Structure 1
Amino acid sequence: MATNIGMMDGAYFVGRNEILAWVNATLQLDLSRVEEAASGAVQCQMMDMVHPGVVPMHKVNFDAKTEYDMIQNYKVLQDVFNKLKISKHVEVNKLIKGRPLDNLEFLQWLKRYCDSVNGGIMNENYNPVARRTKGGREKTVRTSQKNPKSLQTSNSFNSSVCDGNGIVSNKIPGTKQGKPAGEAPTADSSAQIRGLTNEITELKLSVDLLENERDFYFAKLRDIEILCQTPQLENLPMAVAIKKILYSADVKEPAAIAEARDVVVVGETESII
């Protein structure tokens, strides 16, 4: 069972669209952004699904809006982790701020964990809506179940009009008799629309993948920068050289690489002397 998952694990390369689809399908929700799970309620219910009876769902607030209410949800989640001996550090202060990258990474880890428990198979006997409404403290969570709109009829759409000859006819306002309200699209235009729609979908997926990859490597560079800024390392030749490359104005600037190499060589020479 995977609890300690390294940053290079394939779990962290799962895109946000796939994560959202997994959350919505599993819990019958209708989230459109990963930061909508910042309150911690989604994570609590995921643990409730894979470990029935462990999560006190009556303490989970699905309508949490304030940071205080969100923190209470994460306290419930942390208690569950402690019961299950899951050594996962939850950065609550970052998650409740609603930052997309932090929430995406946590949901990526959560999916990897849930898959390791149930093999990626959803529990068909688990009723997420019932667990939220009966066990949770929320009644207005956004679900994927839409209420059908009631059909309404109006006499304005079918009025009887009497002409000068006493003949009664039914007319629909805004349309002319004998002519269709709109022309059906041709086969060529329909095919073109489908083709453009598929192309837009593919482009959106590509953008999501690129954004996820960009965010991932930016986070790694930020970790390296923080490491090089620690008092114990910031004056070491290697740390100085790395910062010169990180802070160079041009990523392809050969002078920055050469200067960084010189710093390392000089540092090694001084250490030998």
Structure 2
Amino acid sequence: MTASRTDLLAWLNELLQINYTKVEQCGAGGAYCQILDSIYGDVPMNRVKMNAKHEYEYVANYKVMQNIFKAKKIDKPIPVEKLVKCKMQDNLEFLQWMKRFWDANYGGQGYDAVARRKGAPVEPPATVAPLATARATPTGLGAGAGVRAGGRTPIGGRAGSAQPEVVLQLQAQVKELSTHLEGLEKERDFYFEKLRDIEILAQGQIDALTAEGKDDETLREIQKILYSTEEGFEVPDPGQPLDEEETF
């Protein structure tokens, strides 16, 4: 029988001594890695980021997981690109599989999850949810809805009682979106630095070959890809002055 979300979260939190509230939070990958560690006891938990906040850190956790799957000959594809998006359905299906795998392979030995991650605190990963939208109030509601007919003053001020809660929800979502944006910026910088390193390496090799009167077409193609631009975008001529309207 397939376990429900509630049952899965209760099992996960008890096994790993964490406090996840949503299945989507498993998309960070750390919990999946530690489930495997509870079975085998040899997952390199020092390489697992249980407090991962950004997608590139999630991907690093799945790299560890993929290595374990390969070492243990576990014939199960890991849909990394879907899981890291922290969508409920994708992570629910994968967590259900993980629970079945755990049931079939866990030997019943005691497992100290906190000690295995060296006591590092674990905050549930943030998941970005769509902003809540207020439902339109149906017309023709009677006095039981707390509003007098004709749009007069609300009875007892009830119509405005939900406003603070809505404001708090929006503030929380703004904070979560800001955190997500910060993660995207760090991820962008992370991959930009990698491309920059490749650019420097390729240029160095090309310069060395040119000095010897040689060339390497593969390096030229790599350089061509690095310097390619989006269609319609033109690199400005550094010798051409900017128009006055574009000067700030």
Q: Could you tell me the TM-score, scaled by structure 1's length?
A: 0.44
Q: Which has the larger radius of gyration?
A: 1
